[in-house]
Structure 1
């Protein structure tokens, strides 16, 4: 019985909307036109793929530069005590200040002295890296801490000596220039 009622209801619904139906027949070539449009549709995926590749390269480049900068910092004292980190920090600031002073003195007369000093500083830095690796590998002990502090003191002393020599050379040049006048 339900089916008869449903069929009657459906029949009434069709009669109600009888004049509102779209009765136009499709063009016989409609399927061919549709397939042509589908095949000729521009492919947007290639464009997104290009952007995705470019973005991936940019991200990888950024990450590699970030990790390269981290790897270049030999003064990471992750496993050291607070006192050791504090000592390293203080000495590092003093060394950086001396390096700034040294670079400010750069002139044609001092260029060779400064270049030699910077080469020697690279040697000290390499030694310091070895000390830091030793701290990370074996932990802190008196000998390693002494070697670390000794390296830092040597660097500061070396930079102060170089700056003193440069000033002596400048003073000597100024006094010899005054005598020739």
Structure 2
């Protein structure tokens, strides 16, 4: 233990004149205690009431938008042709979705889940188009975007069904060869 103490003293003695030591102001302790005890009197502003009102308004708006009773696929400002086109395409899409769900099996589960997730994306895009249609009225660009989205969804579902059928054929062919 004594040896360690000697070693420490030798180590510190090497650096004895190299320490950066500054004497503190004699009033340092009193200054420090004054600052410590000093209570800053910042004015407390009462924004809580305004914040609560704003939060309530935002909450009510969010709830009203979320629970909107209006059917999103209903066109208020669309022509009969647009409504009919939408109706026909949606019937075709619904039929393809029924076919897709009929193909449900453990082997196809991942493909079907991915396809349904992609359909949600298409639906979100379609809803944006419908909102534009209701906001700006019918024009060629909006109608083209609407029809393009509907065609894309049908084509996508048909491609997924074809992929599932190809997988089933491949599975059946593999099973026949192993027998």
TM range (shorter): 0.5 to 0.7
Per-residue CA deviations over 1:65-103 (Å, capped at 9, x if unaligned) read xx95845x4311121000000000000000000000000
User: Are the structure 2 counterparts of residues 70 and 103 from structure 1 closer, same or farther at C-alpha, using a change threshold of 3 Å?
Assistant: farther
Partner of residue 85, structure 2:
87
SS at match of 1:108: coil
Give the distance between the partners of 1:69 and 1:131, measured in 2 at CA.
18
Task: Report Cα offsets for 1:7-48 as digits up to 9, x if no partner.
Answer: xxxxxxxxxxxxxxxxxxxxxxxxxxxxxxxxxxxxxxxxxx
Task: Specify the alignment match of 2:172 in structure 1.
Answer: 174
Q: C-alpha deviations, 1:95-128, integer Å up to 9, x for none? A: 0000000000000000000000000000000000
2:104 corresponds to: 106
- For 2:54, the equivalent position in structure 1 comes to none
Return closer, same or farther for 1:70/1:179 CA change in 2, 3 Å cut-off.
farther
Could you list the runs of 5+ residues in structure 2 that have no partner in the other structure? 1-65
The CA distance in 2 between the partners of 1:159 and 1:70, in whole Å, is: 29
Relative to structure 1, is the Cα distance of residues 171 and 69 closer, same or farther in structure 2, using a 3 angstrom cutoff? farther
Residue 105 of structure 2 corresponds to residue 125 of structure 1: no
Seen in structure 2, the aligned counterparts of structure 1 residues 70 and 107 have a Cα distance that, compared at 3 Å, is farther
Which is greater in Rg?
A: 1
Q: 1:78 aligns with which of 76, 79, 89?
A: 76
Q: Give the equivalent residue in structure 1 for 2:51.
A: none
Structure 2 CA distance, aligned partners of 1:167 and 1:102? 10
CA distance in 1, matches of 2:96, 2:68: 22
C-alpha separation in 2, matches of 1:70 and 1:130: 18
Q: Distance in 1 between matches of 2:178 and 2:117?
A: 35
